Amino acid sequence: MTLSEVPRISIVIPTYNRSFVLSRAIKSVLQQSFHDFEVIVVDDGSTDSLDGVLNLYSDPRVRVLKHLENKGAAAARNTAIKAARGNIIAFLDSDDKWDSTKLEKQIAHFEILREKNKNIMGSFTWFFLHKQNGKKELRKFKKVINWKNYFLEGCFISPGSTLIMDKKAYEHVGLYDESFKRFEDWEWLLRFSKKFDLIGYEAPLSHIYQGEKPLYKTIQLPMKNLIKIHKKNLPFTQKMKFLGACNLELFYSCVEKNIFRAGYFFILSISMNPRLLNKFFSRLLKSPF
């Protein structure tokens, strides 16, 4: 592909100080069985040896855009979306990777189902979660009828590495909110799900590598803003479902550091949405603290 040709897919890889894992992500893209794409790597103000890694790739499909300072994942993704030439955007976090047939299978499935339902604007896949203890866990999801209700209870599809999206969706929904330093993808999907649908590909085609758990101090303000924006105009039942999910995220963020604060958020969460108790114990069995 020459730079004058328009690729079908634009693959977005935002990165910040991840020179030690970026090659894994880029290699998994360049080894795809589907070839009609461009790769946009956004260096979000890295201070490590990222340039040395990027210089290893002479493939003309790989483009590098740079921020002079760290602006966050939302800004990095927005920079890439604005520069994208493809009609479909595919996301991959710089510490994750794809199965070699990910794009081929997901794109074909997506386009077939879009012929039946024009309101479908995006697709995600099941994935393997590679945990810090070396274990690998399959994450799969049941079919969803109402995406708006689904995202009120959290964001579990790992959109940073499983999601593909029609670029036109960003014209209707807007870009990622750059004021969010956490939960920017959940916030965007809450907006998206008010207008459009997603479809899931029922096979694990992405590999997500578990990082450090976010601390309470890093998610407190983004969560406050998420609640402020999205609890408005929700019917009571949906509002309780949403607030319960938000408080459960706050619980997970402080359970290892402050058990009393964690207990407070846990009680709030379950009192607002008792259904979360089953999800909590299911998650506990899979991923103990």
Residue with tokens 């740079």: 66
> What pLDDT digit, counting tens, does each position of 109-131 carry?
999 999 999 999 999 999 999 99
CA-CA distances (angstroms) from residue 224 to 183, 242, 249, 285? 11, 12, 12, 29
Considering the domain architecture, whether residues 130 and 68 belong to the same structural domain is answered as yes
pLDDT of residue 281: 66
Q: Please report, for the domain that includes residue 15, its CATH number.
A: 3.90.550.10
Helix, strand, coil % over all residues of the chain, rounded to 5 = 45, 20, 35
Considering the domain architecture, whether residues 123 and 226 belong to the same structural domain is answered as no
> What pLDDT digit, counting tens, does each position of 3-37 carry?
558 999 999 999 999 999 999 999 999 999 999 99
3 located within any domain: no
Considering the domain architecture, whether residues 183 and 276 belong to the same structural domain is answered as no
- Parent domain of 255: 216-286
Considering the domain architecture, whether residues 134 and 254 belong to the same structural domain is answered as no
Considering the domain architecture, whether residues 196 and 257 belong to the same structural domain is answered as no
CA-CA distances (angstroms) from residue 98 to 33, 174, 251? 11, 27, 31
Among residues 148, 181, 209, the one where a domain terminates is 209
pLDDT of residue 286: 58
Three-state SS for 37?
A: strand
2 located within any domain: no
What distance in Å separates the CA atoms of residue 158 and residue 22, rounded to the nearest whole number? 18
Q: DSSP label at 177? A: -
Among residues 209, 229, 250, the one where a domain terminates is 209
What distance in Å separates the CA atoms of residue 106 and residue 271, rounded to the nearest whole number? 39
Residue with tokens 């019917």: 235
pLDDT of residue 289: 46
> What pLDDT digit, counting tens, does each position of 162-205 carry?
999 999 999 999 999 999 999 999 999 999 999 999 999 999 99
Number of domains in the chain: 2
Considering the domain architecture, whether residues 205 and 221 belong to the same structural domain is answered as no
Question: Taking each helix axis from N to C terminus, what angle separates 276-286 and 259-272, rounded to the nearest 10 degrees?
Answer: 130
What distance in Å separates the CA atoms of residue 143 and residue 156, rounded to the nearest whole number? 13
Considering the domain architecture, whether residues 39 and 178 belong to the same structural domain is answered as yes
Mean pLDDT of 70-78: 97
> Two tokens at 165?
């999206």
Considering the domain architecture, whether residues 134 and 177 belong to the same structural domain is answered as yes
1 located within any domain: no
Whether residue 287 is predicted with pLDDT greater than 60 in this model: the reply is no
Considering the domain architecture, whether residues 228 and 192 belong to the same structural domain is answered as no
pLDDT of residue 57: 87
Q: Which pTM was predicted?
A: 0.92
**Nearest alpha carbon to residue 120 among 151, 163, 68:** 163
